[in-house]
Amino acid sequence: MRVAITGAGLAGLSCGKYLADAGHTPIILECRDVLGGKVAAWKDDDGDWYETGLHIFFGAYPNILQLFKELGIEERLQWKEHSMIFNQPETPGTYSRFDFPDIPAPINGIIAILCNEDMLTWEEKVKFGLGLIPAIIHGQSYVEKMDRYSWSEWIKKQNIPPRVEKEVFIAMSKALNFINPDEISATVLLTALNRFLQEKNGSKMAFLDGPPTERLCKPIVDYITERGGEVRLNAPLKEIILNEDNTVKGFLLRGLNGEPDEMFEAHLYLSAIPVDILKLLLPQPWKRLDFARQLEGLEGVPVINLHLWFDRKLTDVDHLLFSRSDLLSVYADMSNTCKEYANQERSMLELVLAPAKDWISQSDENIIAATMEELNKLFPQHFIGENPTKLLKFHVVKTPRSVYKATPGRQAFRPSQKTPIANFYLAGDYTMQQYLGSMEGAVLSGKLAAQTIARDYPANIIIS
């Protein structure tokens, strides 16, 4: 069957890939001239790449890892030492590490925590461990129930000292959802901790070896087209046109550059566009349906991704760093971490600015000035003296609505991939799957949607 998919982010592309595996014909319609959505990247006039987001792959991402394997591109993941590295704001220019030894979980995680003596006292570690006991005993069902609390509320409820939140979990919370612990649902952090502590390599991190658009999205497109599918750029969905019975008659695509609009018809239809845009495009008759009303509870969170090129090396750390700064979240020196951006002489820092709600409408120059102030604290030795490091150029990429804001209670609003409309399905990191708003969540949502379609309209091949 011909399945029209709107949106060529990881959810739409993964859905297309697994539909092709199932013997269907996906046609992916993307509004922009670039693949990847929130993993999109562009080349500037100097030939340097810049990206929508600094993206990290975890050992606890089974669906993405399987996808890389199925595409035959596993070697493109550059795995780093099994560690988590934090800046130490009190002693600028130094780092504190959690190093996971190569032994089974959860012992490797426990040793990593016990051996770190910079960030938490023994009493704090013991109290944190005791607070986690219900999550360890009751597992995911407990984790899901905790969606009624913010992380700050949960920490308090479990009698965990507030310093544990300040030292470790502000950074984790900003890294996972671009918001602070008083806003983020306890379910998000407990889910991540569960994976990191239960799976030996759960928290092991990898960087892609180049821009995701080229190194990940392109091979998926090739896979789809080799199997008879199609991916069209510059094909924005303008309106979902309905039949009299409120099923989908077609996707109306907006004509660009003076071209007329185009009615695109297929057997089945799937939305893999972000929830904020889908809400605007829902046809009137669907708005009274539960699945459409459910979407009203979800909204994307703002975030800003920064790229700064310097005239020399700032660090030789080949890993993700948790900045522990108020302004910034995680960052990495991509000249060390990523093969295609490698440079022996000069650093290119990619940094995530979060929470970004007060910065998203500010000028790029203001954002960069504030970031440079933070970098003076993180790398003081480089920005003082007679010959301070110079910023050569920068790019600022703003995403006003990125992944859904995972505040308490959001789990109840996440829709299934199957809708009550017989020929209309959903994919996207916000749809219900166990990996929250992430690349893994997006890929899994696309796969679940493809599996649902394959069950509803069987071809003769089964998706593993």
Ligand X SMILES: Cc1cc2nc3c(=O)[nH]c(=O)nc-3n(C[C@H](O)[C@H](O)[C@H](O)COP(=O)(O)OP(=O)(O)OC[C@H]3O[C@@H](n4cnc5c(N)ncnc54)[C@H](O)[C@@H]3O)c2cc1C
Query: Would you tell me which residues interact with ligand X (CB under 6 A)?
Result: 6-12, 29-32, 37-39, 52-56, 236-237, 272-274, 277, 303, 305, 352, 399, 402-403, 428-429, 437-442
Picking from 414, 86, 423, 26, the residue whose alpha carbon sits closest to that of residue 242 is 423
Token pair in block for residue 154: 């949960």
CB of 298 to ligand X, least distance (A): 12
CB of 464 to ligand X, least distance (A): 22
Token pair in block for residue 291: 């699945």
Strands (E), 229-342: 230-232, 237-242, 248-253, 262-264, 268-271, 303-310, 321-322, 328-333
Query: Residue with CB nearest ligand X?
Result: 9
CB of 75 to ligand X, least distance (A): 20
Tell me whether residue 186 or residue 332 sits nearer to ligand X (CB atom).
332
Angle at which helix 439-456 crosses helix 62-71, to 10 degrees, equals 70
Tell me whether residue 160 or residue 237 sits nearer to ligand X (CB atom).
237
Tell me whether residue 12 or residue 415 sits nearer to ligand X (CB atom).
12
| One-letter amino acid for residue 373 of the chain | E
Tell me whether residue 98 or residue 128 sits nearer to ligand X (CB atom).
98
d(CA 349, CA 96): 19
CB of 162 to ligand X, least distance (A): 27
CB of 244 to ligand X, least distance (A): 24
CB of 213 to ligand X, least distance (A): 10
CB of 305 to ligand X, least distance (A): 4
CA distances from 231 to 85, 202, 366 (A): 39, 33, 38
Q: Say how many C-beta atoms besides its own lie within 10 A of residue 183's C-beta.
A: 18
Tell me whether residue 389 or residue 402 sits nearer to ligand X (CB atom).
402
CB of 436 to ligand X, least distance (A): 8
The answer to whether residues 2 and 29 touch, using CB atoms and an 8 Å cutoff, is: no
Tell me whether residue 7 or residue 109 sits nearer to ligand X (CB atom).
7
CB of 217 to ligand X, least distance (A): 9
Give the residue ranges of DSSP H helices in 199-258: 212, 218-226
Give the residue ranges of DSSP H helices in 24-158: 62-71, 107-115, 122-131, 133-138, 140-145, 151-157
Strands (E), 167-234: 205-208, 230-232
Token pair in block for residue 426: 């959903």
Tell me whether residue 249 or residue 401 sits nearer to ligand X (CB atom).
401
Residue 299, CB-side half-sphere exposure with 13 Å CA sphere: 8
| One-letter amino acid for residue 44 of the chain | D
Tell me whether residue 6 or residue 423 sits nearer to ligand X (CB atom).
6
Tell me whether residue 38 or residue 418 sits nearer to ligand X (CB atom).
38
Instruction: Name the DSSP letter for residue 404.
Output: B
Tell me whether residue 118 or residue 318 sits nearer to ligand X (CB atom).
318
CB of 208 to ligand X, least distance (A): 10
List of long-range contacts for 189-195, beta carbons under 8 Å, 24+ apart: 189/151, 190/135, 190/142, 190/143, 190/146, 190/154, 191/140, 191/143, 191/434, 191/436, 193/132, 193/135, 194/135, 194/139, 194/140, 194/143, 195/58, 195/60
